[in-house]
Amino acid sequence: MTTYSQLQRKDVNEIRKLALASWLVTYKNIFTRNSIRRQVLNHYSDKNFQKVARSIKAKKGGYFVIARKKKILVGYANVGEKNREWELKRIYVTPKILRKGIGSGLLHNVEFFLKSKGIKRYCAHPHPKNSGAIMFYLKTGFKRNRMGDIGKNSPCYLKAI
């Protein structure tokens, strides 16, 4: 059974490890291993986690959910507001257990949060070569939205909820 809960400080190191494992698989044909390590260290730094935590605590509109199986962290997702639009900033699942419903469960939790705030849609911006993420988004109801693209390396996928 998978359980879902909000991010707590004690989860941060586990999330970093999962992030690195996921990025090494997801982006292995896109970035070098050294580049991946640098990006994970940057994106998952204490400073960035503190910023996310402050945003959530201040009720400015952030939500970070984690998934556990038998107390082991197996996935996480983070949604936040950016330029008056809601965006799925991160969603990762342990590479060894992809396609077992954990990602869908994470999205369900994110969408429950968004609906509770009266939000009717949100977007995701996967790397254009991240075909696994793009297939996941399309399978879970996202639609390609070229109007929301941020340059050529950040295509927009939009989902109405």
Q: How confident is the model at residue 104 (pLDDT cuts 50, 70, 90)?
A: very high
What token pair was written down for 5? 């809960």
Q: Which domains does the chain have, with CATH numbers?
A: 2-119 (3.40.630.30)
Q: What is the mean pLDDT of the chain?
A: 90
Residue range 80-104: mean pLDDT, rounded:
90
101 in helix, strand or coil? coil
Q: What is the pLDDT of residue 60?
A: 61
Q: What is the pLDDT of residue 48?
A: 81
> Is pLDDT at 56 greater than 60 in this prediction?
yes
> Is pLDDT at 29 greater than 60 in this prediction?
yes
- Tell me whether strands 2-6 and 121-124 are parallel, antiparallel or unpaired: unpaired
> Is pLDDT at 88 greater than 70 in this prediction?
yes
- pLDDT: is 79 or 47 the higher one? 79
4 in helix, strand or coil? strand
Q: What is the pLDDT of residue 47?
A: 84
DSSP 15-39: HHHHHHHHHHHHTTTTS-HHHHHHH
- pLDDT: is 65 or 47 the higher one? 65
